[in-house]
Amino acid sequence: MKQKFSIEGMSCDHCVARVEKAINELPGIQKVKVHLKRSNGTVKFDEGQVNSEQIAEKINDTGYKAKAV
């Protein structure tokens, strides 16, 4: 599945790298692309291993505000 997330609070490339790294730690993640200027990200993942809520929670745990859109 491919899901887009809005991500608030990122201010630099380090923030983008931090979010991408955190998401990639979850099981079933296939591809992650986070955009600083658009304040969003797209995640491709295996629904059998992880869901959108878990991904948003992981982003929130890193200090940013995320929700699936």
For residue range 17-48, list pLDDT tens digits in order.
999 999 999 999 999 999 999 999 999 999 99
Q: What pLDDT score does 32 carry?
A: 98
Separation CA 7–CA 21 (nearest Å): 14
Separation CA 14–CA 51 (nearest Å): 25
pLDDT band at 15 (very low <50, low <70, confident <90, very high): very high
- Residue 52's nearest CA partner among 17, 9, 2 is 2
Bridge partners for 44 per DSSP: 2, 31
User: What does DSSP assign to residue 12?
Assistant: S
Judge if pTM exceeds 0.85. Answer: yes
Q: What pLDDT score does 23 carry?
A: 98
User: What does DSSP assign to residue 42?
Assistant: E
Domains along the chain? 2-68 (3.30.70.100)
